[in-house]
Structure formats: C-alpha cells, structure tokens
Structure 1
C-alpha cells in the first residue's frame, strides 16, 4: 500500500484529553481520555471504545507530550475505522496548532529517528 502521509507518524505514549466542538459551540463530550495510536506534526490517530464520532467532527484537545508539556490544539476527524469489540479508530488532522507546538513534535521525531 502506498504511503500518502507527508509527515512521518510516531508511535508514542502521550496523554490526550478531548472535548467536542459542535457548530453551535455546544460541548457534547466533556474531557475524555483517548488511546493515541500515533502522532505527527500534522495529525494524530486515536482509539476509543464504545464512542462513535463522524467524519468532520472537531475537537479541542490537550496533548501532554513526552516532556510533560501540554499542547493545546484543535483537530478534525478525517477517517473512521471500526475495529473489534466496539473500538473505533479515528484519523485526524490538526486544524489549529501553533508553529511552536508543531515544532515540538517535529523535534521529538528527529530525536527518535537518531536513536
């Protein structure tokens, strides 16, 4: 299968809390933690059991990275895969992140590749 991603995805252990943003700015999911599969400076993939989001759903997220710093970002769901046992995997792109925070992810990637 051909790789379509522009940026390498990293398999890392990070903590992510998400909060859904609706069109009317109504929050339907108060902060919930999700299981991050991988992350890059342009997006992330996560898994969550027994919760269904549609493509196009947007979330405000707090991502605690390996340095214990927290990155505030907004991402949008672009792909949904239904896995076994009611678990859904979501592919997302960042639609709101500072250049500084994107650089933190890129620096970790460079550090990780050098090992």
Structure 2
C-alpha cells in the first residue's frame, strides 16, 4: 500500500490526494501533526532522500529561523527541528515498497503506478 506523509491542510497535499483519488489509488495518509512522526521514520526518510531535500526551505517556519541557525544547520539539528516543527518537512512524501517520492510530480506518480 502507498503511504502519503504530510499535513492535511497543505495545498500541495490536497492536490496530490485529489490526483490519487481521481486515479483510484488506495493509499494511507499519515498526518505529521495528528498521527505523529518518529525519529526513526525521519532518519529513514533522510537516508533515502537526503536531509537537505526533506527540508522545506520555502516555508514560513523555516524562513522564521534566525539566519545564524540556517547558516550553521547540520543534519542532526535539522532533523531535530523537523521533528519539533513538521511543517519544515517538504510535502508530500510518498512511500511505496522501497520507493520514496518527495513533492507532487504527476510524471513520478504515474511512473510509480505503472511499476
């Protein structure tokens, strides 16, 4: 089963969920805020995708960080921040078997379904 991780009220999540539902794809939605996220899950996501890719640097939560924090960000500290503030994780994150997709990209989603 496909798992989608994200935040329910995110516009990109809404688009991705609508696309999956339109294509009759069964999936489980895991809301970082409501369902939680473990350090182990986040560490695995980081291993598969890279912590820099996971970090939502366009979001208001990240932009509100002090400039010194952003400049000196390490993987360990970034993962701690993402656990504390899940809005700092890029969304959606789709997991199916051993495939991890970050963001909503129709071509990638279609390819995932075709495999």
Bin of the TM-score, shorter chain as denominator length: under 0.3
The TM-score with structure 2 as length reference comes to 0.24
Tell me which protein shows more helix as a share of its residues: 2
**More RCO (CA 8 Å, sep 6+):** 2
